[in-house]
Amino acid sequence: MQAMAETVADAGGWRERKKRATRAALVEAAVRMAAERGVEHITVDAISEAAGVSPRTFFNYFDSREEVFVLIGAESSARVRAAVLAAPDGLSPLEALRDALAVELQEIEQQQELWALHAEVLRRSPDLLARSIGAHLADELGLAEAVAERIGAGSPLFSAARGEDTATEAEQRRRRALGLYPRLVAAVGSAAVRTAVEHWCVRQDEADFDDVFREVFDHLAAGLPEPPPPAAPRRR
């Protein structure tokens, strides 16, 4: 029985890894092609062919060509929320978020070029940039809800969408259900990731990304005290 359970778990893990690899291949193909040709000049068929899958497979992951650029981190965000909820009780919400994000950002040093290309694609496509910002805010809202649930401050009955709610009304209901603290932790976490990535990108020869990322959260955990001035160079 145990062997069978392990076999099922292995199969589930393999399927999940395959799904993640397929999604990543579609995103990479789309970003590289868009950076070279422009978003308006690529199609779902071209993206699928470059990723080695069928257009039908593409639509298993994204509803439209635009979503491949906008929802680039959707599955990652879901894993971060799950990890925050599953973190050991002894960790503070900020520590739980730090550890969850660290796992998702393990490959940042290998993906720096792709991140830069994606940013350039969005910069040249105002409509996609606006949609990407909206998706980011939605991810942040979901993360705040995970923090609220972790500290026992969630209000699922109040935040649950009603049948007659529009999408905007449902989102407003969710936001009203959140206290200030969960929203602040989620916003701080998002800012910490952005700051760490931007800082490391221009100083890759000075430190590993993981060290920069951990230092950012160390500053936050310490309450952002002003650091001491840099030591003056010694005179010879």
pLDDT tens string, the chain, 236 residues long: the values are 445 444 434 545 788 888 888 998 999 999 999 999 999 999 999 999 999 999 999 999 999 999 999 876 667 888 899 999 999 999 999 999 999 999 888 877 677 788 888 888 998 999 998 988 888 888 999 999 999 999 998 655 444 555 566 777 888 888 888 999 999 999 999 999 989 988 887 888 888 888 999 999 999 999 989 888 876 666 65
Note the CATH number of domain 1-66: 1.10.10.60
pLDDT score, position 3: 52
In angstroms, the CA 172 to CA 155 distance is 13
Q: What class does CATH assign to 73-223?
A: mainly alpha
pLDDT score, position 87: 96
Contact 118, 135 (CB under 8 A): no
In angstroms, the CA 42 to CA 126 distance is 17
What is the pTM (predicted TM-score) of this model? 0.77
pLDDT score, position 236: 57
Instruction: Give start-end residues of each CATH 1.10.357.10 domain in the chain.
Output: 73-223
In angstroms, the CA 32 to CA 236 distance is 51
Type and span of the H or E element at 147: helix 126-150
